[in-house]
Amino acid sequence: MKGLFAVACALPLALSHDIGGPLALVALAPLMAFSLRFDRPFAFGFLCGFFEVFMTLWGTADYSLLIPLALAVQGGLGRGALAWAIGRRSGPLLPLTVLVLAQGLRASSELSLPLSCGHDLASVWLLAWPAAFGGGALLTALCGLSAYALSHGAQQRKQALIAFFILLISAAGHEILRPTQQQSVVLKASVIQGGLPNWVYRQAAIDQAADALIRRRYLLPAANEPAGRLLILPESALRETWGQGPMSSAYRRLHASGASLIAGLNRHVDGALRNSVMFWATSLESPSFQSKRMLVPLVERDFQLLDEPELELPQGGRVMLCIESVYPRFARRADARWLLVLSNDAGVGRSSARRAFEREARLRAVEMGRSLIRAGQDGFSYAVSPRGELLWHLPRYKPGLMRIASLPGALPSLRGFAGDWLFWLCWPLLLLGLRARSAPREPDV
Amino acid sequence: MSGARQFFLLGLGLLCAALLLLRNHDALRLRDASPELRAPVWKNGLLQRSGLDSLSGSEFLCRGDSCSDAESWPVGENPQKWLASIAQLGVKRGVGERPDAPALIYTAEGWMILWAERGDRLEVVLQGRGAGVWPRSAFEGLYGLPWWGPLR
């Protein structure tokens, strides 16, 4: 019976990760409510977290079932700790700190992925603004407090609501005191989205029609763009290794015609394959590269990281390659004027996982207070303002071209300046929470 | 816990499950890339797009001006003459049990071209079945078979 209830509690969480938005504010409430009732709340929370993450990430099983399973175990440990903290009945401080710390660890550690109700709020920009103050950790805390208030009695509800409004008012104060927005970033960029499913790439080497379609979807629109523009192609838009092949020739022709080019591609260096971003400015003879960090060992076993400096894009931009955008620390360049994410979401079909990953890019924009362009192979490609508001976007799963003349200037934020301060603050608060006295338990189910 | 709360939670879970299912039931289904390029389907263990089932070895490997006179696949167990007829020059009998892609392999079912060996799949052209993608696990079945390479 406990397992059935754990799955029932996991479903609103998984749905929240899928659709995002305000459901995140209440999705933790069933887990919290039942953690108060069950004997061995850790085991109950573990089951709930396991199913929550497994259901959300099953779309990645196409790469390997080990990925959703390993991440589900991590999710289970996080939710198990939360349920244990709720079961102690010592007030909202302990569960809140456990929730934020468990989430923060999942966002900061490689081999893990940050799935969080708080991060789900980023899909509605009007709900994500507190992240400029305290990042995803603050959004997570707000979701935890609202769910706590819903699932507890009058006294604890009052404590949780007071804490909720203190955090919200602090974030509002930060908005008022934020420095003024900097000058717009003039880019003249063209983002090309091929709108092709992943299978086309997987067999392009033996299927001439597939190969031709890939070239038609990327090289034709790129060649038709007026000279002097910055052409942005997503991760592995053309899946060839940089060097002597037709892709390289096509990119050279584009560069020779007067375009600057940013494209995700593979290249061989020192005998190893690197998943990389190439930037080739019109004025330069040869391109520069930035290789992707190896974050998903099973999927990226063919790739090796090369220790090389980060690329500086036109107008002071910085680039993140695909899943790097899911980890806040890779966006932490205070000197960046705008951010770029090149992605290949098509690798996980149209599942919850890609929707959760995509949302993280918007959260990075809000946290850092920078405009952000995201170029996806078959979407979701867009430009967002430093507040996370969608400025322009292309339809998902379809080919398209997005022309961007300029982006809103940077809007400095405390989260961008001070890093994940709320996460670090939660460590001493955790000690305080552990010292608080537990209330007597109610009879078990 | 009251029965009403239990039923409420189960009802809520069911509603969420229905919505999740609605949004994800065909999330990993392969979709058409364009009206002309239909999604591939599994045919006896080979993931194949319609139109590729009749592709022959000579059509795929031809590096000459024309290969219309060449056989579709090698006749017999020695492919050297056939390889020369489609301008695949410098191809030699492979050494060792493990074929190096791209390679021509002789199997019990007939000839096959192992064009690429990827981390998660094999890209192949099979005699009588055409071009498609095999699961990576199929590679084990190719050990010890006679092979020729490198193809270009």
The verdict on A30 touching B (C-beta cutoff 8 Å) is yes
The verdict on B60 touching A (C-beta cutoff 8 Å) is yes
Best to test chain B binding among A2, A11, A215, A348 (most B CBs inside 10 Å): A11
Of A11, A14, A206, which has the smallest distance from its Cβ to B125's Cβ? A206
Tokens of A211: 């190969």
The verdict on B38 touching A (C-beta cutoff 8 Å) is no
Cα of A259 to nearest chain B Cα, Å: 28
Per DSSP, which regions of A194-282 are E strands? 230-233, 260-269, 272-280
Q: Estimate the crossing angle of helix A131-151 against helix A154-177, to 10 degrees.
A: 170
The pair phi, psi for residue A28, each rounded to 5°, is -85, -10
Q: Please give the Cα distance from B93 to A343 (Å, whole number).
A: 42
The verdict on A302 touching B (C-beta cutoff 8 Å) is yes
How large is the average pLDDT for residues B28-45? 92
Check CB contact under 8 Å for A352 and B6. Answer: no
**What residues in B contact A200, CB-CB < 8 Å?**
33, 37
**What residues in A contact B52, CB-CB < 8 Å?**
206-207
**Residue of higher predicted confidence among B76 and A372:** A372
Task: Tell me what pLDDT residue B83 has.
Answer: 93
Check CB contact under 8 Å for B28 and A302. Answer: no
Determine how β-strand A260-269 pairs with β-strand A317-321: unpaired
Write out pLDDT tens, residues A141-167: 999 999 999 999 899 999 999 999 999
Check CB contact under 8 Å for A14 and B120. Answer: no
Q: Estimate the crossing angle of helix B3-24 against helix A352-368, to 10 degrees.
A: 90
Task: Tell me what pLDDT residue A445 has.
Answer: 44
Check CB contact under 8 Å for B10 and A63. Answer: no
For chain A, which domains are there? 2-178+419-435 (no CATH), 185-412 (3.60.110.10)
Residue of B nearest to A59 (CA): B28
Of A200, A206, A350, which has the smallest distance from its Cβ to B27's Cβ? A350
Check CB contact under 8 Å for A203 and B20. Answer: no
Of A15, A203, A206, which has the smallest distance from its Cβ to B16's Cβ? A15
**What residues in A contact B115, CB-CB < 8 Å?**
205-206
Task: Tell me what pLDDT residue B9 has.
Answer: 78
Determine how β-strand A317-321 pairs with β-strand A288-291: unpaired
Check CB contact under 8 Å for B39 and A206. Answer: no
Best to test chain A binding among B34, B56, B112, B125 (most A CBs inside 10 Å): B34
Check CB contact under 8 Å for A7 and B13. Answer: yes
Task: Tell me what pLDDT residue A302 has.
Answer: 54
The verdict on B25 touching A (C-beta cutoff 8 Å) is no
Task: Tell me what pLDDT residue A332 has.
Answer: 67
Largest pairwise CA distance in chain B: 82
Spans of chain A below 70 pLDDT? 109-111, 294-308, 332-334, 439-445
Q: Please give the Cα distance from A392 to A380 (Å, whole number).
A: 11
The pair phi, psi for residue A407, each rounded to 5°, is -120, 150
Determine how β-strand A185-193 pairs with β-strand A230-233: parallel
Check CB contact under 8 Å for B28 and A199. Answer: no
Best to test chain A binding among B37, B53, B136, B152 (most A CBs inside 10 Å): B37
* Average pLDDT across chain B, whole number: 90
DSSP chain B: --HHHHHHHHHHHHHHHHHHHHHHTTTT----SSSSSPPPEEETTEEE-TT-TT--HHHHH--SS--TTS-SS-SSS--HHHHHHTT-TT-EE--SSSPPSSEEEEETTEEEEEEEE-SSEEEEEETTTEEEEEEGGGGGGGTTS-EEE---
Name the class of domain B41-149.
alpha beta
Check CB contact under 8 Å for B28 and A62. Answer: yes
Check CB contact under 8 Å for B34 and A4. Answer: no
Tokens of A77: 């440990």
